Structures are given as structure tokens and as C-alpha cells.
Amino acid sequence: MTDYTQNGRRRVVITGIGAVTPLGNDAETSWQNLIAGKSGAAPIVQWDASEYPVTFACELKEFDPRTWIDHKQARRMDRFAQMIVAAARQAEVDSGLDVEAEAERIGASIATGIGGLKAFQDCYEVLLERGPDRVNPFSIPQIIPNMGAAWVSMELGTRGPLSSQCTACAASNMAIGEAADMIRLGRADVVFAGGTEAGITPVGIAGFSAMRALARRNDEPERASRPFDAERSGFVMGEAGGVIVLEDLEHARARGAKLYAELIGYGLSSDAAHVTEPDPSGANPARAMRMAFGDAGIEPEEVDYINAHGTSTPLGDASETKVIKLALGDEAAAKTPVSSTKGATGHCLGASGAVEAIFTTMAVNTDTLPPTINYETPDPECDLDYIPNESRKAEVKVAVSNSFGFGGHNACIVIRELAD
């Protein structure tokens, strides 16, 4: 008899993916451009950024929400909600699910780091310029962070557990991990899990610029995001929506679903250290990784690939190198390929973990390691194998994806090749 449990728990598999990213308006195009080493960075086109300290970002290209959403409904959503509904629609189609037939057993766990930033800015400008009576009545539903999850549920018709995480740049990994736990605990058979962010607005660029968090290579945007490189100077703002369909293995096999991979581990911790800077010791993010390994029932030596948080900031990348060594041990860390796909997508904030979970799943599914682009000058503090500039074919049975957020939020997930 087939064993459908992992350590006595229901096993959780990935049966659908969907994404809109700076590399493409679907998951497959995004993946192909990623492994081809392309960059999504370019001058900002959504608004005139010419007078700002940073004039470029990793925007979606030719994104039209009406491809996936009724025009009237799309007008009621902030861009962050439009993007996640588009990704969820793609994942729904890819999974082959009949959501209506099982709506009460299908949930959604959707994250964002900020929420409706554009709607907030638009609302405030109208308030100042035209007065309170002219404020859009949909403003608050457009702004509040939970509406990404809410719109996914309403548009797809899911009636199972509905959850929304807002834990900065770790939010998507937490949404995915919590979704897996919903299935393990029997609260749902299927969960649409992921995250979204649309922070490329005047206030978003101005705010992160004021923090000195953004790279300022306005003359060469495509080379600005350079994780682990000695010349890195900050991250590039990105935007994206990404969704994976998590499903109980027995349920998935009963309906003949396509099986991409298995999600086997989830770990999380907090730094309690600083508002923006990483834990200088690296101990707490490493603890999240080791917790994920323990949850997965694997040893560090079994990890074949790590999709790093790797934002291209001087402190963050050096810290994560230390974290990986603490979690795996020096010997295993030296042998484990690591890459940051943010070199290509920029930092998509609350959506980054979802997009990177998709890329990690594809790495497992295709035995292809995505590159860290723009890696040119080694940094003595970053001395691991970062898969520089070109993708690499390699057997990938077990892969890890890290996400660390402002305020000390740390989350790690483990994805494995599906084995009977």
C-alpha cells in the first residue's frame, strides 16, 4: 500500500504554478528568461521618475489585468491585487482543479509586504487636492493588505481557510509554509499560496531611496542588482505576483494531477535585533533553516541547491553567507550551489518568496540551477558557489528557499523531488 504520509502527516505536493514577474507575464516565460540570464530592470514607465534619486526598477512588462480579470472588477483593485489574481488564475488552470466542485476544501494563503501603496497615494492626493467628499469609496478595500487574499478567494470561488500574511520580505514564504500546515492539519485539501507586491510608486521609490537601500546605477539598470558581488550597493525594486497550488498528495493522485514537487519543510524565527539590518550573528536565520531541515527530516548534506534571499545589499548578502554556513556547516556549505534570482527580478518584497518558490520548484523539476547574474567581482565575505551568470544542469533532489524580512522575520521552505 502506498504511504501518503510524511512522519505520520499528510504529504503536501505542488500541483500548479502561476506568476507575473519582471521576466514575463507567466511562470514558464519568467523561468526561461531567468535561466537565460536576462534582467528585468529598466527605466520606470508607470510614472515619471526622472527627478527621483533612482529612476529604474524591475516592472512588469505590458501587464494587462483584463487578460485575467473582468474590467469592472479590475478597476476596484489596487495593482497588487490585480497581479495576484492573475497569478492565481494561471495556477488554477495549470493545476486542472475544479474549484467550484470542492470550494469548501480549497483555501487561499496570500501574502504582501505593503499592500495597496498606489491606492493609498492616490487617495491621499485626492484628499489634499479635491477634499474628503471626492475620495474613492473603494480606497480602503484597495489599500488594506488582506485584499490580495480576499480577491483570490472571491475570483476563484474558494471557501476554505483564507489567510493573509504581512511580514515584510518573508511574507510569501510564511504564506506557503502556513498553507502547507493547513493541509497537514486537515483543514483543507488544497491551498492557493503565494504573494504579491506593487511597490514601484513615487512614495515607494522615494522611501526606499531615503533609506539608502536602493542601488543607484541609473545609467545601467540591468547591471544594478548584483547579489553577492563585491560591488553590490543596494537592491532594485521589483514587483510581482506568484502562486503555487499546494495539495494533499492523496487528493492530487486521486484526481490524476500533475505533480511538480513536494513541499517537505518549513521553519521560521525572529531576530529581535534591528528594524532593517540583519542579525549580525546569523544565528536566528540559521535556526529557521535548521528548523526547516528538521521538519523535512533531512540532513544539511542532502541539500542540493539554495535559492538565497540575496537582495544585493552589502550587509544582507554577507550575513546570509554566514547564515548558510551556520545552518549547513562549513564543509557542506562549500559544496552546495547557491544563487539569488533577485539579480534578474529585483527585490519583489512581499512577493519575492512566492516567485522564488516557483523558481526553486522549477529547479527541482528540471534539474536546472538558475544563475546569479551580474556576479563579476568576488567578495571575501561571500565565498560560496553562487552559480555566476550562467545556469547550470545538476541533479536537484532537495532545494531550499530563504526569505528574510525587515524587523527580523525569517522563513525557510524545503522542496523535494517527489518520491514514492
pLDDT value at residue 1: 33
| Contact indicator for 303, 398 with CB cutoff of 8 Å | yes
Cα–Cα distance between 392 and 401 in angstroms, integer?
17
Which of 123, 166, 347, 348 is labelled catalytic? 347
Q: Write down the CATH number for the domain with range 12-254.
A: 3.40.47.10
Question: What are 57's three cell numbers?
Answer: 526598477
Question: What are 244's three cell numbers?
Answer: 503555487
* Tens of pLDDT, residues 300-330: 999 999 999 999 999 999 999 999 999 999 9
Q: Residue ranges per domain, the chain? A: 12-254, 266-416
DSSP assigned state of 251 = H
Domains 12-254 and 266-416 share a fold: yes
The CA dihedral of 282, 195, 352, 385, to the nearest 10 degrees, is: 70
pLDDT value at residue 280: 82
Which of 309, 348, 382, 412 is labelled catalytic? 309
Determine the distance from the C-alpha atom of residue 21 to the mean position of all C-alpha atoms in its chain, rounded to a whole number: 10
pLDDT value at residue 21: 98
Burial of 37 per CB tally in 10 Å (0-12, 13-18, 19+): middle
pLDDT value at residue 116: 96
Q: Which amino acid is at 68?
A: W
Q: Which amino acid is at 200?
A: I
pLDDT value at residue 2: 46
Residue whose C-alpha cell reads 476554505 in the numeric block: 160
pLDDT value at residue 419: 80
> Catalytic: 347?
yes
Cα–Cα distance between 380 and 120 in angstroms, integer?
43
- What sign results for the dihedral spanned by CA atoms 200, 206, 210, 212? positive
Q: 32 CB contacts (<8 Å, ≥6 apart)?
A: 24
DSSP assigned state of 51 = T
Cα–Cα distance between 330 and 177 in angstroms, integer?
27
For residue 402, CA distances in Å to 184, 201, 341, 343, 416 come to: 21, 26, 12, 15, 15
Cα–Cα distance between 230 and 318 in angstroms, integer?
10
Residue ranges in the chain modelled with pLDDT below 70 = 1-7
| Contact indicator for 20, 27 with CB cutoff of 8 Å | no
Cβ neighbour number for residue 113 with a 10 Å cutoff? 28
Which of 58, 123, 166, 169 is labelled catalytic? 169
pLDDT value at residue 95: 98
> Catalytic: 58?
no
CATH superfamily of 266-416: Thiolase/Chalcone synthase (3.40.47.10)
Q: 281 CB contacts (<8 Å, ≥6 apart)?
A: none
